[in-house]
Amino acid sequence: MTETILDIRDLAIAYRVAQGEMRAVDGASLAVPAGTITGLVGESGCGKTTLARALTRVMPGNARLAGGQALFAGRDLMTLPEAEMNRLRWREIAFVPQSAMNSLDPVYRVGTQLREVLVGRGGMDRRRARARAEELFGMVGIEPRRLGDYPHQFSGGMRQRVAIALALALGPRLVIADEPVTALDVIVQRQILDQLLELQKGLGLSVILVTHDISVVAYVCDRVAVMYAGQVVEAGDVRTVLTRPAHPYTMGLCNAFPHLDGARGVLTPIEGAPPDLLAPPPGCRFAPRCPFAVDACRRQAPPVQAIGGTHLAACHRIAEAEALRARAARVETWAAMAETVA
């Protein structure tokens, strides 16, 4: 297939907290093919942001690399000297944060913030920077005259577009977008996603899109990786993963989403809560909530296995996926867990 622009191998990131060390990301592996949008989904607290931020190596003070690699065009981002890493930042790897309001400095005009990057990081002179800024605004569909406005003068959707423009400023190869549409209304969300798609196709970008919404993944992504409790439990191309999930967690997740059309069937919750990362359960981390867990699951962590092509999953019962999917579609399967996990 296409070349892999980013290859994350067994990455582990730990936070120092009062009670000890917490591995928010614990042995996550993920390959991002160039020129695609890869979705990273998972519920709150499973380590999506931690993983995404780790790729920029700008992490909270109490975070620490606890192992693994992230090969970007062959070079390990985790061991790159800081000066070299800094050269990569934004020119090669850009970032679109979740809340554009807070990620734009409120006291500078957006034009100034664009220029800061274009001049300071891109080495352009002011005239070229100006032209490029206007071009970027055009690309994301904002009138160039609004370069003179302050962030708070934009609506939420427009701010998100500004953030995208900022990310594209230096023509990076990889854009990491951490929940770029979560806080937005559906209509605006859709508009932004359309924009993102268009730009990605046009520029041939590689994008990692972090989200907790499978619908968003379904709408824009080529590939998807599902995270649970700090690990990637399933990855593959979107169609395969969403229609034929191999990991019970992915199955549950798909069942928990209401559809707009089709039968108004009953939604199925995954009972229980993700494990405490300070003391994760032995074996498969999903086992306590999994209706299909067997003894092996509780004893031993399942390895990541290929199912076919690029479809990977980490489950002991991967061979029975077909059968499990059928059982997972029934509400009773999951409801039975309610008693166990409470």
**276 burial level (CB within 10 Å; 0-12, 13-18, 19+):** exposed
* Alpha-carbon span 188 to 159, nearest angstrom: 11
What is the C-alpha separation between 309 and 302, in angstroms, rounded?
Answer: 19
Instruction: Of 208, 244, 236, 234, give the one whose Cα is nearest residue 53.
Output: 208
- Is residue 235 near ligand ATP by the rule CB under 6 A? no
28, containing H or E segment: strand 20-33
- Residue 160 binding partner per list other proteins, Mg ion, ligand ATP, none, with a CB distance cut-off of 5 to 8 Å that depends on partner kind: none
Q: Which stretch binds ligand ATP (CB under 6 A): 43-51, 218-226, 304-312, 333-341?
A: 43-51
Closest approach, Cβ 336 to ligand ATP, in A, equals 27
- Choose the stretch contacting other proteins; rule: CB under 8 A; options: 3-11, 104-112, 132-140, 304-312: 104-112
Binding flag, residue 339, other proteins (CB under 8 A): yes
Q: Give the containing element (helix H, strand E) for 50.
A: helix 48-56
Tokens 């039975």 found at: 336
d(CA 118, CA 129): 6
Residue 1 binds which entry of other proteins, Mg ion, ligand ATP, none, with Cβ cut-offs from 5 to 8 Å by kind? Answer: none
Contact 166/113 with Cβ under 8 angstroms? yes
Residue 301, judged by CB atoms within 10 A of its CB (0-12, 13-18, 19+), counts as: middle
Binding partner selected for residue 187 from ligand ATP, other proteins, Mg ion, none, CB under the kind-specific 5 to 8 Å limit = other proteins
Q: Is there binding between residue 256 and other proteins (CB under 8 A)?
A: yes
Site for other proteins in 180-209 (CB under 8 A): 185-191, 193-194, 197
Q: Is 46 in the site for ligand ATP (CB under 6 A)?
A: yes
Q: Cβ(236)–Cβ(309) under 8 Å?
A: yes
Centre a 10 Å sphere on the Cβ of residue 49 and count the other Cβ atoms it contains: 18
- Of 111 and 288, CB closest to ligand ATP: 288
Please report how close the Cβ of residue 194 comes to ligand ATP at its closest, in angstroms: 22
Q: Which of residues 277-316 bind other proteins (CB under 8 A)?
A: none
Pick from 21, 135, 153, 299: which binds other proteins (CB under 8 A)?
153
Nearest to 249 by CA among 296, 204, 291, 207: 291
Site for other proteins in 23-62 (CB under 8 A): 43-44, 56, 58
Stretch of 23-31, 126-134, 236-244, 291-299 lying at the interface with other proteins (CB under 8 A): 236-244
**Binding of other proteins by 213 (CB under 8 A):** yes
Q: What number of residues does the chain have? A: 342
Instruction: Supply φ then ψ for residue 209, to 5 degrees.
Output: -110, 110
Q: Alpha-carbon torsion 97, 102, 105, 111, what sign? A: positive
| CB 188 to other proteins: min, Å | 8
Query: Residue 116 touches which of ligand ATP, other proteins, Mg ion, none (CB < 5 to 8 A by kind)?
Result: other proteins
Contact positions with ligand ATP (CB under 6 A) in 267-306: 277
15 interface partner picked from other proteins, ligand ATP, Mg ion, none, CB below 5 to 8 A per type: ligand ATP
Question: Could you identify the residue written with the tokens 């969300």?
Answer: 189
- Name the residues that contact ligand ATP, by CB under 6 A: 15, 17, 22, 24, 42, 44-50, 60, 62, 212, 277
